[in-house]
C-alpha cells in the first residue's frame, strides 16, 4: 500500500492497495481517496476491503509511514483472531 499526496485542490491522499497473486504478479485491487492520513481512517478503508475479499493476508509492504503501519495493525489485529500479526522490518 502507498499513498499519493495532493491529488486534488483539497490536497487529499490517494491510497492504492495492491495484492500479489499465485503467479507473483501484483494487481491494484482497491483505491481510497482520503482527506487525511490518520491510521484509524486508513484502517476503515482496509476493513471494507477485508469484508469484500476472500484472500488471507500473509504479509504487508508499506513505506515507513506510521499511519499505514497503525492502520494494518488495527485492521488485521493479530494471531489471536486467526490472522497474520503485523510486524515492521527495517
Question: How far is the C-alpha of 28 from the C-alpha of 84, rounded, in Å?
Answer: 21
Q: pLDDT tens for residues 12-42?
A: 889 888 888 889 898 888 999 998 888 899 9
**Each residue's pLDDT tens digit, 55-90:** 777 777 777 788 888 888 888 876 455 555 555 555
| C-beta separation of 2 from 14 below 8 A | no
pLDDT of residue 37: 87
Amino acid at each position: 500500500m502507498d499513498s499519493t499526496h495532493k491529488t486534488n485542490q483539497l490536497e487529499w491522499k490517494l491510497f492504492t492497495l495492491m495484492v500479489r497473486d499465485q503467479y507473483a504478479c501484483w494487481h491494484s485491487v482497491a483505491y481510497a481517496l482520503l482527506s487525511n492520513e490518520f491510521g484509524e481512517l486508513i484502517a476503515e478503508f482496509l476493513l471494507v476491503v477485508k469484508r469484500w475479499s476472500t484472500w488471507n493476508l500473509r504479509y504487508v509492504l508499506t513505506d515507513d509511514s506510521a499511519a499505514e503501519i497503525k492502520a494494518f495493525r488495527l485492521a488485521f489485529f493479530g494471531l489471536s483472531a486467526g490472522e497474520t500479526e503485523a510486524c515492521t522490518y527495517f
